[in-house]
Amino acid sequence: MIKILKYGEVTTEEIFARSVPTVNVEEIVTDIIETVKTKGDAALFEYSRKFDHADLTALQVSTEEIEEAVASVEPEFLEILKKAAANITKFHEKQKRNSFIINDEDGIVIGQKVIPVDRAGLYVPGGTAAYPSTVLMDSIPAKIAGVKQVVMVTPPNAQGKVNPVILAAASVAGVDKIFKVGGAQAVAALAYGTESVPKVDKIVGPGNAFVAEAKKQVFGRVSIDMIAGPSEILIVADGKTNPKHAAADLLSQAEHDKMASAVLVTDSAELAVAVQAELEVQIPQLERAEIARASIDDNGKIIVAEDLRQAIEIANEIAPEHLELCVDNPFDYLDAIRHAGSIFMGRNCPEALGDYFAGPNHTLPTSGTAKFSSPLSVDDFVKKTQYTYYTNDALARVAKDVAYFARKEGLTAHAKSAVVRTEEE
């Protein structure tokens, strides 16, 4: 049963405690990466047999396999994928940055170019659930950014097939190449390249502990989006909130993983008790009841605050991945929320709306990193480079200042390079 904590009556350590995965896979992942670096495709085939129990003859998903998968998916779901893709596109189009140029002084031009990375790698998990939503959320911003090639990796089943809904989403999103590779070996292939899998410049997408560790280890060789921890939801709710709705929303994250975190912060002790009881009604009804039960019992909590102001302060300290604001007039409180991956406003905005359909991205900072990082966006797939142009006259106006500054740092060659041209004059 989920625990109820009264703020001020228990320690802050108990209030703000977080589940921390303790699986140490560093050495295993290091070995996998080194093997892929040295053996290339042969290592990928070997790991596929070992981990996926699939005896592959080719790593890349063929056009025929994609067409077959799309044809096998219900037309209704294809339409929903297209609607979701349109919403995601509409939202992320607003994130596009423009290059700029400044030329307001004679003889001086400075500016910045915004340039997409050449190739992005998208990791899509397999395992206990298929996530076509991740395909849309992670590939559409890359396409909007102007990335030339989006490469997707995802583990196959024992028959060597990729889940059809994953391939259908990739088709809708315009993914360029798809490979039947999962786990740390997929991350290694994207980071270093193999005979089949091209090396990318950035790797995005969630995964298990092996994938997260691999992303951590290849960072620097390539860029990554983030190291994702267990899924999180925090609901700030007043006493008018329907306990059935709050319980259902908490379970929408609890069913992800036994390590997932579901937290309710409320100013109503009555709501706390009602949600606690409602969770006991709803958990046995879930297909993933065992996972949800472990998440709720081990990592879930209901925190009773003095008022909504204090509830929001608690939420800011936790800095959750998903934050639901179940109150009247939620926009009155929006400015007070400083730390959250994504905010869901009002009583009619379940977190699942953002997972699949509304348009904002669902690849979000976890484990409190919302205090200093952001959701996946178009910005993740571009880089900026700057440029400077001075005429001789423009340089002459500032050369002594630059040289003076350089000498203060003890860098006389810097100083000389600033004034040598003007001395020649």
Residue written as token pair 């400083």 = 338
Is 322 part of the annotated catalytic residue set? yes
Token reading at 267: 């100013």
Backbone angles phi, psi at 55, to 5 degrees: -100, 90
CA distance 144 to 202: 15
- Cα 50–Cα 56–Cα 57 angle in degrees, nearest 5: 145
| DSSP, residue by residue, 94-153 | TT----EEEEEETTEEEEEEEEE-SEEEEE---TT---HHHHHHHHHHHHHHT-SEEEEE
Is 321 part of the annotated catalytic residue set? yes
Tell me, letter by letter, the H, E, C secondary structure of 341-367. Answer: CEEEECCCCCHHHHHHCCCCCCCCCCC
CA distance 184 to 70: 28
Indicate which residue of 92, 245, 256, 322 is catalytic.
322
Determine what percent of the chain falls in helix, strand and coil, rounding each to the nearest 5. 50, 20, 35
CA distance 375 to 115: 20
Indicate which residue of 65, 232, 255, 321 is catalytic.
321
**Cβ contact 341:370 at 8 Å:** yes
For residue 129, count CB atoms less than 10 angstroms from its CB and return exposed for 0-12, middle for 13-18, buried for 19 or more.
Answer: exposed
Which positions are annotated as active-site residues? 321-322
